[in-house]
């Protein structure tokens, strides 16, 4: 089934509401809201150093069946797959 842009926007909102990136030791605050695993968001523009990744404990991780980590630096799940 095709996922339309409206549906992607809805999903992005849900991901952002559950994202735990802001509590992560690698997080740098440059006004971003996390959700880096999501294809319409992807890499951070300011996080560059891998100081640990807490994605594995995020509710989105299980819900979306994610397999990768460090989405902020390495790119979204889709980009890394």
List residues binding ligand SF4 (CB under 6 A). Answer: 15, 19-21, 24, 26-27, 34-37, 47, 53-55, 58, 60-61, 66, 69-72
Nearest CA to 48 out of 23, 27, 17, 20 is that of 27
Sequence-separated (6 or more) residues with CB below 8 Å from residue 23 = 54
In terms of CB distance, is 37 or 79 closer to ligand SF4? 37
Q: How far is the CB of 1 from ligand SF4 (least distance, A)?
A: 23
Q: How far is the CB of 35 from ligand SF4 (least distance, A)?
A: 5
């Amino acid at each position: 089934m095709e996922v339309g842009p409206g549906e992607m926007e809805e999903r992005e909102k849900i991901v952002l509401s559950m994202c735990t990136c802001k509590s992560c030791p690698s997080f740098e605050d440059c006004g971003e809201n996390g959700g880096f695993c999501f294809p319409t968001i992807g890499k951070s523009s300011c996080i560059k150093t891998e100081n640990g990744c807490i994605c594995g404990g995020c509710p989105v991780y299980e819900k979306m069946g994610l397999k990768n980590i460090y989405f902020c630096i390495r790119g979204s799940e889709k980009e890394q797959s």
